[in-house]
């Protein structure tokens, strides 16, 4: 399955992360990280809690300015600030946040229509059709008029995905898509992600530590480490699980703890 999709994924880098060093204040979280994400692939950023996954995610989406290095999306450099927010780069990118971040005062339909109303001049009827289409793609047909508070966690995540997909972005970012979801809901979300990747060719960047979902969805992964502050392994998840000699990678994929947990000693 994964092999087959690997061939479908292109070999043109759509995201290039070049020598990125980032952190908060004086604290450096990731140091000199470089990698490429290719068009059409599902790319996962793995690692244990506190390894800088979310920091890297924020840098890649332009929410956090790196201390050094650049991120190119589709050949264009992203940076922080007002101009980038409205820039063309962000229209190529859809982001779903860990908590969903739906606007609580709007219905699902209004949430999904928000980016369309903001960035396109489509007539109201067309926007309505797109919203229906997007919500039915994520399995929420019939729930259009509910408020986010009236939904379960899994439905909120899917609604957030519908909103992120509204402008047909080339790249979708997910921050911990399965956090707080039960295994079945989480698997449904994985299937939705695979379906969208397959039918629309959308490049997906997923930040996660959910083993089952990594093995099911990801074409290629990188693994970050807290002590080294950089990438300690990359490749397909199957490869890493079976062939890696790095104990940290083996522990991650076997859900074991052979090393004493340094994070608790601090």
Partner 1 sequence: MISTNLPEENPNNTGTTSHSRAGSSADAELRLGPLGFALDIHEKTFDELSLVLRGRLWVENAEEVRGALMRAVEQEPLKNVVVDLSQIDYIDSSGAAVLMELYRKCRAMNNVLKLARAGPSVQRFLDLVDFDHFKDKPILRPRAAPPLLVQIGGGAERIYRTVQDIITFLGAASIALYEDLRHPRQVKWDPLWKLIERSGSDAVPIVAILSFLMGAILAFQAAIQLRKFGANIFVADLVSVSICLEMGPLLAAIIVAGRSGAAYAAHIGTMQVTEEVDALRLMGVDPIRFLVSPRIVAVGLALPCLTIFADIVGIFGGCVVSVFALDLTPITYFNQVGRVLEVSDVLKGLIKSFAYGVEIAAIGCLRGFQVRGGAESVGQATTSAVVTSVFVLTVTDAVFAMFYHYTRFL
Residues in touch with partner 1 (CB under 8 A): 104-105, 107, 109-110, 113, 120-134, 136-137, 141-142, 144-145, 147-149, 165-168, 195, 198-201
Distance CA 171, CA 126 (A): 23
Q: Of 61, 81, 30, 34, which is closest to residue 227 (Cα–Cα)?
A: 30
Residues 25/26/30/35 CA torsion (nearest 10 deg):
70
Closer Cβ to partner 1, 95 or 130, answer by number:
130
Closer Cβ to partner 1, 110 or 251, answer by number:
110
DSSP 230: S
Q: Which residues contact 233 (CB under 8 A, 6 or more apart)?
A: 221, 222, 223, 240, 244, 246, 249
Minimum distance from residue 142 beta carbon to partner 1 (Å):
8
Distance from chain centroid for Cα 106:
24
Start-to-end CA span in the chain (Å): 42
Closer Cβ to partner 1, 72 or 127, answer by number:
127
Distance CA 247, CA 57 (A): 25
Closer Cβ to partner 1, 19 or 129, answer by number:
129
Minimum distance from residue 109 beta carbon to partner 1 (Å):
4
Closer Cβ to partner 1, 60 or 113, answer by number:
113
* Structure token digits, residue 9: 């994924």
């Amino acid at each position: 399955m994964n092999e087959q999709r690997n061939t479908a994924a292109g070999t043109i880098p759509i995201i290039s992360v070049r020598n990125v060093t980032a952190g908060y204040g004086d604290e450096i979280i990731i140091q000199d990280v470089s990698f490429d994400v290719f068009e059409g692939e599902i790319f996962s950023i793995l690692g244990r809690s506190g390894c800088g996954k979310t920091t890297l995610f924020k840098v890649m989406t332009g929410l956090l300015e790196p201390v050094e290095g650049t991120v190119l999306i589709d050949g264009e450099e992203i940076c922080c600030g007002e101009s980038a927010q409205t820039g063309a780069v962000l229209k190529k990118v859809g982001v779903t946040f860990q908590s969903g971040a739906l606007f609580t005062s709007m219905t699902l339909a209004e949430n999904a229509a928000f980016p369309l109303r903001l960035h396109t001049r489509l007539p109201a009827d067309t926007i309505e059709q797109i919203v229906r289409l997007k919500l039915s793609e994520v399995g929420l047909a019939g729930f259009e008029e509910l408020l986010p508070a009236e939904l379960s966690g899994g439905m909120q995540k899917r609604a957030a995905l519908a909103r992120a997909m509204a402008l047909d972005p080339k790249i979708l970012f997910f921050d911990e898509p399965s956090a707080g979801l039960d295994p079945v809901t989480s698997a449904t979300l994985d299937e939705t992600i695979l379906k969208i990747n397959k039918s629309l060719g959308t490049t997906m960047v997923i930040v996660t530590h959910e083993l089952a979902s990594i093995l099911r969805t990801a074409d290629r992964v990188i693994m970050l480490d807290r002590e080294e502050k950089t990438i300690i392994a990359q490749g397909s998840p199957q490869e890493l699980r079976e062939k890696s000699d790095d104990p940290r990678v083996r522990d991650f994929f076997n859900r074991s703890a052979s090393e004493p947990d340094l994070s608790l000693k601090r």
